[in-house]
Amino acid sequence: MSAPPPPSAAGPEPRLSPAVRKLVGESGIGPSAILGIGKMEKRAVVREVGGADAILVRPMCYVSLTIDHRVIDGAQANAWLARFVEVLEKWPAP
């Protein structure tokens, strides 16, 4: 087992591990954030279409962010996660 890379002077460096589909930022004390993305599944959701509510089938997944509060402020992590979800929700369909 190899040693983890040294921490960056500029802050945590994100790494993407496709095997577990998590984003890990390495800091001097270990992982500072873990982004978990669940399996994409079609789900029924209510959306407003033409001023009326409609039940639509949309691809959905659960997203979770676990942080080390010694490294990352909770408000900053929450703002980042909210923006991440916003970008995913507005992603153009193929």
Residue 6 falls inside a structural domain: no
Confidence band, pLDDT 50/70/90 cuts, at residue 34: confident
Instruction: State the total domains in the chain.
Output: 1
Q: Name the one residue in this structure whose structure tokens are 């993407």.
A: 16
Residue 59 falls inside a structural domain: yes
Q: Model pTM?
A: 0.58
Confidence band, pLDDT 50/70/90 cuts, at residue 19: very low
Range of 22's domain? 13-89
**Are 23 and 35 a contacting pair, CB within 8 Å?**
yes
Residue 35 falls inside a structural domain: yes
Confidence band, pLDDT 50/70/90 cuts, at residue 45: very high
Residue 5 falls inside a structural domain: no
